[in-house]
Amino acid sequence: MLKKKWRFDACFGVFFLLTLQLGAVPIQRVEERLFGRTPTGEDVQLYTLRNAHGMVARVMGYGATITELRVPDRDGRFANVVLGAESLEAYLGGFSAAASVMGRVANRIANARFTLDDREFRVTANAGQHQLHGGRNGFARKVWRGEVLLAIPSAAAVRFSLSSPDGDEGFPGTLDVAVTYTLNDDNELRIDYMATSDKPTPVNFTNHAYFNLAGEGDVWDHRVWIDADRITSVDAELIPTGEYAPVAGTPLDFTVPTAIGARIEPLIPLTKGYDHNYVLRSGGQRFALAAWCYEPHGGRLMHVYTDQPGMQLYTGKRYFRDGKPIKAAPEQKHNTVCFETQHFPDAVNHPHFPSVILRPGRTFRSATAFRFSAANLPAK
């Protein structure tokens, strides 16, 4: 029988401890503590989520960021598979390889402007003349308010809330956002997004988690499958041209499971590796399997599910050891890989792309899940 229990621990501030009694083994599902304070005096909380199999996810209020995700391999050995930093100061100091929520609009907006209902809006440019991931002070650089959710069986969950005011980074409307992280006993970390606005505004969220399923080294031997046979074509500045391109016969084809390093080298002079938006076959019409990634030595296998129409495959340029960033030599790049579920980049400037416009009276909802298991897949 499930038994819930609260405990207060004053040594670290306020801890919310949800304990489930499974036989004789208690599981401390959720723990909250102070992670640090911003220079303006805002408290940033860190939440530790655990499941019945020992999997651990840590998420914090600055950027609604995953700081750690510990997952077992086929021999039961745990490792952190998400790049993160140990202190709030590292994030405040510009640690950009963060598994944070990107918004108000993830990915790129060409020339940092768009037209909505016959009115032109200019947003902050932070990638040359373009906007990337919501601007200079996007959602990844804001303090979110966290709340432990208790009434979820066989799972641990925390919800982060944020109110983005009208004019924030140039975007119209006050946008109220909630992002919920749920770790369940299926070894799945699920992210649910919800938003409402009092004015028409573009909305496109993603989580920019940098994965390395070995917990160290590079990801060249990670095998990837993606349920997409097209990408959105881009120019030299990675801005969509509005056209779609087939992946068949190119290094971008992951319709057959392929190691990341098998065909990456021709892409390095062009895009420094993989940095492409895949047009998922599901079309964003249902919650479906979008991709999987397999690390052959430890056997960790990650399935990616989403209801979004696109996914950016991005090979990070950070060195990675047990989830900690280390300065990388040139030959040590591509040590992480991102699976950024999303609407298409620059969709606000391409009417034939799936719309990213949220209007008053409507609620934006989306979900992405990362499900982990251990396997021993054949080499081919």
> What gap in Å lies between CA 235 and CA 252, rounded to an integer?
16
Q: Tell me which amino acid residue 299 is.
A: G
Q: Which residue, 256, 251, 273, 260, is CA-closest to 217?
A: 260
Whether the upstream peptide bond of residue 104 has omega within 30° of 0, thus cis, is yes
177 pairs with which residues across the strands?
162, 195
Query: Is residue 256 a contact partner of residue 216, using CB atoms and an 8 Å limit?
Result: no
> What gap in Å lies between CA 337 and CA 315, rounded to an integer?
4
Q: What single string gives the DSSP state of each residue in 133-193?
A: TTSTT-GGGSBPEEEEE---TTEEEEEEEEEE-TTGGG--S-EEEEEEEEEETTSEEEEEE
Query: Is residue 311 a contact partner of residue 293, using CB atoms and an 8 Å limit?
Result: no
Alpha carbon 30 to chain centroid, angstroms: 21
Residue 191: HSE in the Cβ half-sphere, 13 Å Cα cutoff? 28
Query: Is residue 168 a contact partner of residue 104, using CB atoms and an 8 Å limit?
Result: yes
Catalytic residues: 208, 340
